[in-house]
């Protein structure tokens, strides 16, 4: 069932690069570029494949792109610590905000009970304009 999982230098390189991203969103391309600068030359195909695997395992979270952008990923960690918060993305500056509040949990509950829809906070990104940009 559980297939063997070889440890290779490529995988560790990708893994540690991913961790340096903190909770920022990143693309496959940005990963490759960053590793390249760090002297690591990892094949793009390998990055695609391993990142996809990490997504499937829940180590990374996969996000839909803003139109025109590529698919984005975010490091979550094996502990899956940030399960229940939401992401707000500013359309102006591109910054990502985390939001964790009672109102949001209530909304999830409301949508489930009244609309029969099981909201997935991991995938949902709320778009809008942040405070800083709105005052410019």
Partner DNA sequence: TTGCGTGCAAAGGTTTTGCATGGCA
Partner DNA sequence: TGCCATGCAAAACCTTTGCACGCAA
Segment near DNA (CB under 7 A); pick from 5-13, 103-111, 112-120, 123-131: 5-13
- Minimum Å gap between C-beta 21 and DNA is 16
Give the residue with the Cβ less far from its own copies, 21 or 129. 129
User: In 58-75, which positions are buried (b, 16+ CB within 10 angstroms) versus exposed (e)?
Assistant: ebbbebeeeeeeeebbbb
Contacts of 90 (CB under 8 A, 6+ apart): 96, 97, 128, 129, 130, 133
- Minimum CB separation of residue 46 from DNA in Å reads 3
Residues 112 to 131 in contact with its own copies, rule: CB under 8 A: 114-120, 123-131
Q: How far is CA 106 from the centre of its chain?
A: 24
Tokens 């993305």 — which residue?
Answer: 89
Site string for its own copies, 49-88 (x = CB under 8 A): -------------xxxxxxx--x----------------x
Give residues with Cβ within 8 angstroms of 68, minimum separation 6. none
H helix runs in 21-95, sequence order? 28-37, 44-57
Please work out the total of residues on this chain that contact its own copies, with binding judged by CB under 8 A. Answer: 37
Contact status: 30 vs DNA (CB under 7 A): no
- Catalog residues that contact DNA under the rule CB under 7 A: 3-11, 27-29, 41-46, 48-50, 52, 65, 68, 70-71
């Amino acid at each position: 069932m559980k297939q063997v999982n070889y440890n290779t230098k490529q995988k560790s390189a990708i893994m540690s690069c991913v961790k340096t991203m903190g909770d920022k969103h990143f693309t496959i391309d940005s990963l490759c570029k960053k590793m390249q600068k760090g002297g690591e030359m990892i094949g793009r195909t390998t990055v695609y494949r391993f990142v996809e695997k990490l997504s499937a395992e829940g180590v990374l979270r996969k996000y839909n792109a803003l139109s025109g952008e590529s698919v984005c990923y975010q490091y979550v960690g094996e502990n899956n610590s940030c399960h229940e918060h939401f992401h707000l993305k500013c359309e102006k500056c591109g910054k990502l905000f985390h939001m964790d509040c009672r109102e949001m949990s209530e909304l999830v509950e409301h949508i489930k009970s009244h609309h029969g829809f099981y909201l997935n906070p991991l995938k949902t990104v709320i778009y809008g304009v942040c405070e800083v940009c709105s005052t410019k």
